[in-house]
Chain A
Amino acid sequence: MTLMQKFLGAVAATALSAGAALAEPALIFDLGGKFDKSFNEAAFNGAERWAKETGGTYLETVMQSEAQREQALRRFAEAGANPIVTTGFAMSDPIAQVAPDYPDTMFVTIDGWVDLPNVKVIGFTEHEGSYLVGMMAAMASKSGTVGFIGGMDVPLIRKFACGYAQGVKAVNADANIIANMTGTTPSAWNDPVKGSELTLSQIGQGADVVYAAAGGTGVGVLQTAADEGILSIGVDSNQNHLHPGKVLTSMLKRVDVAVYNVMMAGTELQPGIEVLDLAAEGVGYALDENNAALVSDEMKAAVDAAREKIIAGELAVHDYTSDDSCPVLTF
């Protein structure tokens, strides 16, 4: 009985402090982990930058399993967090379920797709960014064979692969492109060992540049590429510093900028669809002191020219998700 009384006392004491609503933003990291050095970590960096500049605080949680997504969304919404930012396409369906119950809360899906009045959708033109790093891969390759290692086999990752392949073919029409996916479930975002094995296999087939679009799995790809003395291309975050002089470049997907902007807007955030493309610097390639020696002037000039052309609309890169097919690569 004493235990029960203690419980009841605790309930009464804490119930008093529960009323106050907080308009803090919340950030939910999907499977793959917060510190994947790639996609989720970019979101974390954006939130940290916001917190540092404004002195604000935000709520965060990391998903451990598929079944937790809806509870996390509801919990933050119930607690009054606004906006609630989520990373990864898999949050789309839970958001579609939860958002109608909290019409005054803004939900943000990065990479997802939800058509509701209180949801902001943020997408990126990953195919354009991948096209640019594909050109660089083809120019850096001596063997004429380049590799692509994707995470989970979904249309989004095929979009990366297809853009990359188009960039490679634009430089060297005879180039051979080997594309592999790590898996078909979300665990493929965090499987560096498999990433390493796939890299070894691609090296065995003659690849001397590999592009990893695989979240935390990419850490294994970049490591193995560095160990075996070939070049690699990072993704989402700038990963050049992981192996200085051995990572050709990184395909930047500025998830950090997206999260930063959303948190800056705070409760004033407007719903709708925002696509961050080359012109908006939502995607691009990374150039810093770690890869300066690897990127020749000629390479840089060619890529920058292509970038200008894409922005001007003179060059169209095919988007895999527009028709679920790729003209230059079969999966």
Chain B
Amino acid sequence: MERMPKWADVVLIPLISLLLAAVISGLVILAIGEDPINALNLMVKGALGSTYGWGYTLYYATNFLFTGLAVAVAFHARLFNIGGEGQAMLGGLGVALVCLYLPWPHWSLALIAASVGAALFGAAWAFLPAILQARRGSHIVITTIMFNFIAAAFLNWLLVGPLKPRGAMDPSTARFPEAVHLPSLHEILAPLGISFSKAAPANVSFLVGILACILVWVLIWRTRLGYEIRAFGHSEPAARYAGISPTKITVITMLISGGLAGMMAINNVMGEAERLVLNATEGAGFIGIAVALMGRSHPFGVFLAAILFGFLYQGGAELALWTNIPRELIIVIQALVILFTGALDNMVRMPLERLFMALRRRRA
């Protein structure tokens, strides 16, 4: 029997959790001697008050969209992919190789090839942890975390050595050629008569991200593979009994997950920096976990959560620029959001359920 209506589960609980996180964050800001109302104003203005702010919010949201989807897909098979960070770094390498070493006549072709390159490299990075989990039972949480460090060290070596142009001091690749420049939202919206900030990095990969959301929804709920993934996630013995191979599902799910995480690179490497720098992912792989948790592993929820975290990220950058509130505080706020939506879910859910039950009884 349903204890409360669906809308309460999907909308009300995350909103209340968010509000609780906001209140406690406000108290923290108060404790370090700043004005929380002013801080909220600054965040809203900085992230949503101009097309410039929106451009950055959507740019960050695109990153979180891909890593959030990556984690969400793995969640459906009850696999906890903590390796989004490393897979996204490797995705960056795939994008850089495609853009630097192949001549491209037009950005659209380059985007397709770069997406494939990013997904392949990201998936390859997820393959070893997946096969170790499936065959040897090495826990995927441990192996994917460790692979993040290996990815960081590997990219470090590449950017200091083979990929760095001669004579350059900064550890990064050369600039990508003009031809692979992805159109920004400014360039896309200008022909439609909508003016959008030229400076903001949001670009066409945001649309790719939305497309990925739809495809993931189709995959999980409208295909045979998606059904197998969900069945495997709910009960491994039952799935095995139904003739689903655990090894196959584990590996395929992780490959899809890694590929999605890797595809984040078309946004941050190809769309924004247009070269590969150290630490290009800026922790987006880890934020993807929070995004998937908050979005309840549903592509639409992931989309909303990604926008929320994009807002928090851009608003936080603004806070750090204009006040004495350190950028780290945003990590505190994000942590509170995760704490309330993920770990303390029942704290909000149980009283709400009781409330709805009471309402129903009165009506009956």
Judge: A and B partners, yes or no.
yes
Residues of A within 8 A of B (CB): 3, 7, 10-11, 13-15, 18, 59, 61, 64-68, 70-72, 74-78, 89-90, 92-93, 101, 154-156, 184-186, 324
Q: B268 contacts the other chain (Cβ, under 8 Å)? A: yes
Tell me which residues across on chain A come within 8 A of B318, comparing CB atoms: 75
Contact A74 B278 (CB under 8 A): no
Q: B347 contacts the other chain (Cβ, under 8 Å)? A: no
Q: Which of B37-45, B98-106, B204-212 contacts A (4 or more CB under 8 A)?
A: B37-45
Contact A15 B45 (CB under 8 A): yes
In angstroms, how far is the closest chain A Cβ from the Cβ of B9? 18
Residue of A3, A15, A184 with most partner-chain B CB within 10 A: A184
Please give 14 more A-B residue pairs, beta carbons under 8 A apart, in addition to A70-B273, A101-B198, A156-B169.
A3-B19, A7-B48, A10-B41, A11-B44, A14-B44, A59-B321, A65-B282, A67-B272, A68-B317, A70-B201, A75-B321, A92-B170, A184-B171, A185-B171
Tell me which residues across on chain A come within 8 A of B223, comparing CB atoms: none
Contact B44 A185 (CB under 8 A): no
Do A66 and B199 form a contact, CB below 8 Å, given A7-B44, A15-B49? Answer: no
Contact A93 B320 (CB under 8 A): no
15 CB < 8 A contacts A-B: A7-B44, A10-B40, A11-B45, A15-B49, A18-B50, A65-B282, A66-B279, A67-B282, A74-B199, A76-B321, A77-B199, A90-B169, A93-B175, A185-B171, A185-B278
Tell me which residues across on chain B come within 8 A of A74, comparing CB atoms: 199
Contact A78 B199 (CB under 8 A): yes
In angstroms, how far is the closest chain B Cβ from the Cβ of A110? 14
Cα–Cα, bound, A67→B278 (Å): 8
Tell me which residues across on chain A come within 8 A of B52, comparing CB atoms: 78
Cα–Cα, bound, A7→B48 (Å): 9
Cα–Cα, bound, A70→B268 (Å): 12
What 1/0 mask marks residues of chain B from 62 to 95 whose CB sits below 8 Å from any chain A CB? 0000000000000000000000000000000000
Tell me which residues across on chain A come within 8 A of B279, comparing CB atoms: 65-67
Residue of B45, B50, B167, B175 with most partner-chain A CB within 10 A: B45
Contact B172 A184 (CB under 8 A): no
Contact B48 A11 (CB under 8 A): yes
Enumerate B170-209 residues with CB–CB distance to A below 8 Å: 170-172, 175, 198-199, 201
Q: B143 contacts the other chain (Cβ, under 8 Å)? A: no
Tell me which residues across on chain A come within 8 A of B321, comparing CB atoms: 59, 61, 72, 75-76
Q: B280 contacts the other chain (Cβ, under 8 Å)? A: yes
- Interface contacts (Cβ under 8 Å), in number, total 85
Chain A residue nearest to B280 in the complex (CB): A67
In angstroms, how far is the closest chain B Cβ from the Cβ of A277? 21
A101 touches which of B50, B156, B199 (Cβ 8 Å):
B199
Contact B41 A67 (CB under 8 A): no
Contact A154 B169 (CB under 8 A): yes
Cα–Cα, bound, A18→B167 (Å): 43
Cα–Cα, bound, A101→B56 (Å): 17
Cα–Cα, bound, A78→B197 (Å): 10
In angstroms, how far is the closest chain B Cβ from the Cβ of A138? 29
Tell me which residues across on chain A come within 8 A of B167, comparing CB atoms: 155, 324
Contact A155 B160 (CB under 8 A): no
A14 touches which of B41, B275, B317 (Cβ 8 Å):
B41
Cα–Cα, bound, A75→B321 (Å): 9
Do A14 and B45 form a contact, CB below 8 Å, given A61-B321, A66-B277, A66-B278? Answer: yes
Residues of B within 8 A of A (CB): 15, 19, 40-42, 44-45, 48-50, 52, 56, 156, 160, 167, 169-172, 175, 198-199, 201, 268, 272-273, 275, 277-282, 317-318, 320-322, 327
Cα–Cα, bound, A84→B170 (Å): 20
In angstroms, how far is the closest chain B Cβ from the Cβ of A233? 23
Contact B273 A18 (CB under 8 A): no
Cα–Cα, bound, A92→B42 (Å): 29
In angstroms, how far is the closest chain B Cβ from the Cβ of A325? 13
Contact B49 A14 (CB under 8 A): yes
Cα–Cα, bound, A70→B280 (Å): 12
In angstroms, how far is the closest chain A Cβ from the Cβ of B315? 11
Cα–Cα, bound, A239→B176 (Å): 42
Tell me which residues across on chain A come within 8 A of B320, comparing CB atoms: 61
Contact A67 B268 (CB under 8 A): yes
Cα–Cα, bound, A11→B50 (Å): 9
Contact B44 A66 (CB under 8 A): no
Contact B317 A18 (CB under 8 A): no
Chain B residue nearest to A13 in the complex (CB): B41
Cα–Cα, bound, A154→B172 (Å): 13
Chain A residue nearest to B279 in the complex (CB): A65
Chain B residue nearest to A90 in the complex (CB): B170
Contact A10 B45 (CB under 8 A): yes
Residue of B15, B175, B199 with most partner-chain A CB within 10 A: B199
Cα–Cα, bound, A78→B56 (Å): 13
In angstroms, how far is the closest chain A Cβ from the Cβ of B57? 12
Residue of A71, A78, A156 with most partner-chain B CB within 10 A: A71
Tell me which residues across on chain A come within 8 A of B327, comparing CB atoms: 64
Tell me which residues across on chain B come within 8 A of A186, comparing CB atoms: 171, 278
Tell me which residues across on chain A come within 8 A of B50, comparing CB atoms: 18
Tell me which residues across on chain B come within 8 A of A68, comparing CB atoms: 282, 317
Chain B residue nearest to A113 in the complex (CB): B169
In angstroms, how far is the closest chain A Cβ from the Cβ of B150? 16
Chain A residue nearest to B277 in the complex (CB): A66
Chain A residue nearest to B44 in the complex (CB): A10
Cα–Cα, bound, A185→B155 (Å): 11
Cα–Cα, bound, A76→B199 (Å): 12
Tell me which residues across on chain A come within 8 A of B275, comparing CB atoms: 93
Cα–Cα, bound, A3→B20 (Å): 13
Tell me which residues across on chain B come within 8 A of A14, comparing CB atoms: 41-42, 44-45, 49
Tell me which residues across on chain B come within 8 A of A72, comparing CB atoms: 321
Chain B residue nearest to A7 in the complex (CB): B44
Cα–Cα, bound, A184→B198 (Å): 34
A89 touches which of B15, B169, B175, B268 (Cβ 8 Å):
B169
Tell me which residues across on chain A come within 8 A of B268, comparing CB atoms: 67
Cα–Cα, bound, A101→B278 (Å): 25
Contact A71 B317 (CB under 8 A): yes
Chain A residue nearest to B50 in the complex (CB): A18
In angstroms, how far is the closest chain A Cβ from the Cβ of B134? 34
